[in-house]
Amino acid sequence: MTNLATEKASILHEALPYIRRFRGKTFVLKYGGHAMRDAELRESFARDVVMLKYVGIHPVVVHGGGPQIDALLNDLGVVSERVDGLRVTSDETMRVVEMVLGGAINAEIVSLVAKHGGRSIGLTGHDDAFMRATKVAPFESRAGDMVDLGRVGEISSVNPEIVRRLSDAGFLPIIAPIAIDEEGRSLNVNADTAAGAIAKALEAEKLVLMTDVEGVRGASDTIESALTESEVEGLKEKGIIAGGMIPKVDCALDALRGGVKQAHILDGRMRHATLLELFTDEGVGTLLRTDK
């Protein structure tokens, strides 16, 4: 047997205990960043989630699409304002958000899954009104101005019945982060937050947040393979976890406090990152868990 064949066999043997352990469990995967923009990585991700389904795990995909929204807004000549890193979503911008997230991107992922032998159905919060949100209240920006973000929402409730039924019937739910308010109007919600809320509602085994960094860095500036809740809070207090990583770890910790068993932050720029993180002893990202 060649060295390559031996290595592949070793990986398969290493994965078997994890496959047995997680068979029948639900994994919620937030899919975004570079993994969505690179053609090879898109194909890799689709193959990976189809494989998860084939081995008896129930993946649920929640996708982002910020750069794609920006590109279409630019093509249409629509000015998209951001305040403190948050998109101001006018009625016109919301229509573009729905076209990109609920239309083009969602359909593309569904098609990729079908290409690799899987069955999937695209969803937004409008379907069975399963994801509801309230409009974000006006707030004072860092510059001291009062800001109204428009059609941006905070998730208020998730009824997972439609997602669970589709998953149990053999389908792979592909969810765009568009929720509805009490009047049934669309609200743009953060994809990480949506994934966390859906994971809690489904009582998922795992929440996986795909990013454009290798994982969470610790005090020695190396990627931590695992961190507990108290360790994360300590790194935040010391300023080691900072910037854009803070909302991601906060999302993961909120999911853990809500009953999700484990959360992972991993590098979506790596081919098969999801499988390597979930089904190998070493992993390739950072596993977050409660202190218990």
Round to whole Å and give the CA distance between 186 and 183.
Answer: 9
Q: Does residue 29 lie within any of the structural domains?
A: no
Contact 68, 33 (CB under 8 A): no
The last residue of a domain, from among 157, 186, 215: 186
Tell me the pLDDT of the chain (292 aa) as tens digits.
Answer: 455 444 444 555 677 888 888 999 999 999 988 778 888 999 999 999 999 999 999 999 999 988 888 888 888 888 878 887 788 899 999 999 999 999 999 999 999 999 999 999 999 999 999 999 999 998 888 888 888 999 999 999 999 999 999 999 999 999 999 999 999 999 999 999 999 999 999 999 999 999 888 889 888 888 888 899 899 999 998 889 888 888 899 999 999 999 999 999 988 888 888 888 888 766 788 999 887 7
224 and 117 share one domain: no
The last residue of a domain, from among 186, 220, 245: 186
70 and 182 share one domain: yes
Report how many domains make up the chain: 2
We report the CATH number of the domain holding residue 111 as: 3.40.1160.10
Question: Which pLDDT value is given to residue 212?
Answer: 85
Instruction: Please identify which residue in the block is written with the tokens 């795909």.
Output: 210
Q: Does residue 261 lie within any of the structural domains?
A: yes
Round to whole Å and give the CA distance between 81 and 96.
Answer: 14
Q: Does residue 38 lie within any of the structural domains?
A: no
pTM, entire model: 0.91
The torsion defined by the Cα of 99, 193, 264 and 159, in degrees rounded to 10, comes to -90
> Residues with Cβ < 8 Å from 124, sequence gap 6 or more?
98, 101, 102, 106, 131, 175, 176, 178, 186
Q: Does residue 26 lie within any of the structural domains?
A: no
> Residues with Cβ < 8 Å from 31, sequence gap 6 or more?
45, 61, 62, 63, 64, 109, 210, 268
Question: Which pLDDT value is given to residue 271?
Answer: 86
Q: Does residue 288 lie within any of the structural domains?
A: yes
SS3 182: coil
165 and 75 share one domain: yes
Round to whole Å and give the CA distance between 176 and 91.
Answer: 18
Q: Does residue 249 lie within any of the structural domains?
A: yes
Angle between the 229-237 and 245-257 helix axes, to the nearest 10 degrees?
A: 150
**What is the span of the domain harbouring residue 108?**
59-186
Is 208 exposed, middle or buried (CB count within 10 Å of its CB: 0-12, 13-18, 19+)? buried
* The dihedral sign for the CA sequence 116, 169, 56, 37: positive
